Amino acid sequence: MRNKNQLLRWLSWIGLVSLFSVACWFLSQWQFSRQEEVSAQNRIVEKNYDASPVALESLLQVDQSWNPEMEYRPVKLSGQYTDLVYLIRNRPYDGNPGFLQLAEFRTKSGNSFWIERGWLPTGNLQDSPDAIPSLDSNPREIIVRLRKAEAQSDRSAPEGQLANIDLQLASAKLDSANVYTQAYGRLVTESNPLPRGIDLGKPELSEGNHLSYALQWIVFGLMAIGAVIWNINQDRRRTAGLPPKKLKSLNRDRDAEVEDELLDS
C-alpha cells in the first residue's frame, strides 16, 4: 500500500512537471517567434529608410494591397495640398502629449495621398496644439516615407481630429476610387517648405528582451524537471531509511577548504 501511494505521488509530480515543461516550451517558441518578427521588421527598416526615393505610382497604386516590405520606403510625389487637414490625437513624443498633423495631398494624376507632417505638442490651455502649421495650395515636389494605414478605432474625436490614422475615415469626404487608403507618407522634404511639426525620426531598432525571455522559459522547464527528479530521489532515500541528501553549498565547500589550509599550516 505504501509503495502504491508513493508511486501515485511520483506520477502526480511527473504529470504536473510535464504540463509545466510543455507550457514553458511553447512559451519559449512564442518568444523566439516574436524575436524573429522584430528582427525581420528591423531589417526592412534598415533596408528602406535611406534608400533612394522613387515615384509613388511606380511602387504603389491606389487599388493595390499593402506590402509590409514597403514600410519606410521613400517615394516622390508632385502636386499640392488641399484644405482637408486633421489632427491625430494621443501621440506622445519624448514623454509629452501631442498630436500629428495629417493633410491631404492631391497628386498631378488626380489621386489623393495622405501626408503626416510631424508632431505638435498639446496646448497649455486646450486639448489641441497652441500653433497649427497652415498650408497653401501651391504646387510642390515632396518626398515621404511610406507607412501602413492604422486600423479603425472605436474611440471618438472632436471635429477636425481623428483618434488614429484611419485613412478610410479620413477619406470619407473624398472619392474613394482616387484615394490611397492603404498607406500614408511621413514627410521627409518638400519644395517651398512650409512650417511643420517635429519629425519623429527613425524608429528605434531594438530587438527587445524576447531572446532572453525564451531562454528563461527553457531554463524554468529544465529546473522543474530537475526538481522532480531530486524529490523522487529524496523520497526513495526516506523509504529506504536513509537520511535525505543535502544540496552542496559552494560557500560551505570554500569554508572547508580554508579550514583545511589553516590546519595544514
DSSP 148-206: EPPPP-S----TTEESS--HHHHTTTS-GGGB--SEEEEEEEESS-----B---SPP--
Write the DSSP symbol of residue 70: G
Q: Distance (Å, rounded) from C-alpha 85 to C-alpha 150?
A: 17
Adjacent-strand bridge partners of 54: 75
DSSP β-ladder status, 54-55 and 112-121: unpaired
Backbone dihedral angles phi then psi of residue 18, each to the nearest 5 degrees: -65, -45
Residue 213 within a domain: no
In a shared domain, residues 67 and 186: yes
Residue 216 lies in a domain: no
SS3 (DSSP) at 100: strand
Residues 125 and 161 in one domain: yes
In a domain, 206, yes or no: no
Residue pair 210/40 in contact (Cβ under 8 Å)? The answer is no
Between CA 178 and CA 58, with CA 189 as vertex, the angle to 5 degrees is 40
- For residues 139 and 238, state if they share a domain: no
Domain stops at, among 145, 175, 190 = 190
Classify residue 185: in a domain, yes or no.
yes
| Per-residue model confidence (pLDDT) at position 252 | 53
For 168, the grid coordinates are: 478610410
* Entry pTM: 0.72
Give the Cα separation of 151 and 154 in Å (integer): 10
Q: Is the dihedral of CA 8, 14, 16, 18 positive or negative?
A: negative
Distances (CA, A) of 260 to 80, 189, 247, 254, 256: 87, 76, 21, 10, 6
Examine the domain organization and report whether 68 and 166 are in the same domain.
yes
> Is 196 part of any domain?
no
The reply to whether 199 falls in a domain is no
Question: How many domains would you assign to the chain?
Answer: 2
> How many residues belong to the chain?
265
Same domain, 58 and 116: yes
Q: Are residues 55 and 178 in the same domain?
A: yes
Residue holding cell 497649455? 124
Pair (98, 109) in one structural domain: yes
Q: Please give the C-alpha separations between residue 257 and each of 142, 264, 265, in angstroms, as whole numbers.
A: 75, 11, 12
Residue 210 lies in a domain: no
d(CA 112, CA 85): 12
Contact call for residues 36 and 211 (beta carbons, < 8 A): no
**Are 173 and 242 contained in the same domain?**
no
Q: What range does the domain containing 26 cover?
A: 1-48+221-265
Rounded-to-integer distance, Cα 106 and Cα 192, Å:
16
Looking at the domain assignment, is residue 198 inside a domain?
no
Q: Can you give the pLDDT of all 265 residues of the chain as single tens digits?
A: 567 777 777 788 888 888 888 898 888 888 888 878 888 888 999 999 999 999 999 999 998 999 999 999 999 999 999 999 999 999 999 999 999 999 999 999 999 999 999 999 998 888 889 999 999 999 999 999 999 999 988 888 989 999 999 999 999 988 778 999 999 999 999 999 999 999 998 888 776 677 788 888 888 888 888 888 887 787 777 777 777 677 665 455 555 555 555 555 4
Residue 35 sits in the same domain as residue 144: no
